[in-house]
A and B are shown apart, each in its own frame.
Chain A
Amino acid sequence: MSNELTYPCSLSLDVPFPDARLANVALQALRVDKELSALVQKELSAVDSTLKVRYKATTNRMLRVAVNSFFDSLALVLEVMEQLDVDVIEARKAEEETG
């Protein structure tokens, strides 16, 4: 009798970014935090400008909870990129100075 967990539920996400730099930033920011539960496994990688996310879970419910949480974190990373990247801040400053 094997005590090993099986992960019958899985989900793949491919998140396209404008460029490889931003995909790599997202990868490094998001892969640090491990899944809290052993019932879920997550793999992150970046290929060119795409962030690839692979989830496996023991049940659909665990999968849903984990993926929803990931999307929340991803949304935060995207907002930070959109509003707080160096070129965005510099552009906003220039705009405020001319306005």
Chain B
Amino acid sequence: MTDLLKKPRRIALGCEGSANKLGIGIILHENDTSTVLSNIRHTFVSPPGTGFLPKDTAAHHRSFFVRIALQALRVANITIPDIDCICYTRGPGMGAPLTSVAIAARTLSLLWNKPLVGVNHCVGHIEMGRAITGASHPVVLYVSGGNTQVIAYAEQRYRIFGEALDIAVGNCLDRFARTLEISNDPAPGYNIEQLAKQGGRILLDLPYAVKGMDCSFSGILTRADELAAHMKSGGKGPDGEAFTPADLCFSLQETIFAMLVEITERAMAHVGSSQVLIVGGVGCNERLQEMMGTMAAERGGSVYATDERFCIDNGIMIAHAGLLAYETGFQTPIEESTCTQRFRTDEVLVKWRK
């Protein structure tokens, strides 16, 4: 009887390149277990004070794709016949980088004669987060440079309960790093986090822009930029003393993370969930995890987060979500394997969940 319930052994190769990280991951599904066979990534780092542009980022992905793929295959120690399907990020993301990775994925699919599966980037983060942390039915906070959404699963869709109305929270952080000319290596968000730990002498006043279940970050960014200009010209803080870039980073984090905690808590109350899962690059931030953990504990729940291997964009999350979809019968015909810069999370039919 148990033999009838056994899932066959399946392996997927996932390709991710929707922003400045190029990742290729290989995952094994066997029975109820997911195993990461390899997860290789390379990040396009632009100079301090600049952001990565689509054209340069796409050139980076094209130049690194083959060597990353070879490395992923080598680390996984598998042969081509072992692979069941090739998954790629269909969207959302930057147009040129998405397309460059899709072309490579298509080529692999055709050369190796394997089915192709187009994956939603957000669903990739959610499914990998669920797999790694074991969270069964969490409210998901998806925070990155390109996305800020509060998501809960209901009736075969990942429903968006709340989101940023303008720029993503990670975009706000990254652009503020540009203002301060902080290094982009390994990531501007990480460097802001480290600076914030040195700050905190004074909490500077920034707009708190929660709007029901949604939030807004553009006003905060503008105000933070104004404060930075004020500081650079020798201006004083409200207490009459000078303040530092560290104080600015501290204040920015405290304000925007409190906003994220509030909208997440509101969704937890509506949904009746006691679990929070934080996914996306900003989910690496330990201060955000700490603040979310405090809120969840006060509600008798817990917070789940992954480390930077899986928080940050990677190929394994695309392989995992793609394989889940493939196992329900989903494939993307080659002629339909386009990319779309806008691909809403709730557009995906989640057939692999009850």
Binding site for B on A (CB under 8 A): 24-26, 28-30, 32-34, 36, 72-73, 75-77, 79-81, 83-86, 89-90, 93
Contact = CB atoms under 8 A, between A and B. Distances in A.
Nearest to B337: A32
Nearest to A30: B103
B110 A25 contact: yes
Interface residues of B, number: 28
6 contacts: A32-B336, A77-B103, A79-B66, A80-B65, A80-B104, A80-B111
A75 B62 contact: yes
Contacts, number: 76
B107 A83 contact: no
Main secondary structure of the interface of A (DSSP, over half): helix
A84 B111 contact: yes
A31 B95 CA distance: 16
A86 B336 CA distance: 24
B335 interface: yes
Main secondary structure of the interface of B (DSSP, over half): helix
Contact of B62 (A32, A36, A72): A72
- The 5 A-B residue pairs with the shortest CB-CB distance, nearest first, are A29-B106, A25-B110, A80-B107, A29-B107, A76-B62
B111 A85 contact: yes
A33 B338 CA distance: 6
B271 interface: no
A54 to B, nearest CB: 19
A33 B111 contact: no
B184 interface: no
Given A73-B100, A80-B66, A32 B108 contact: no
Contacts of B106: 28-29, 32
A90 B108 CA distance: 15
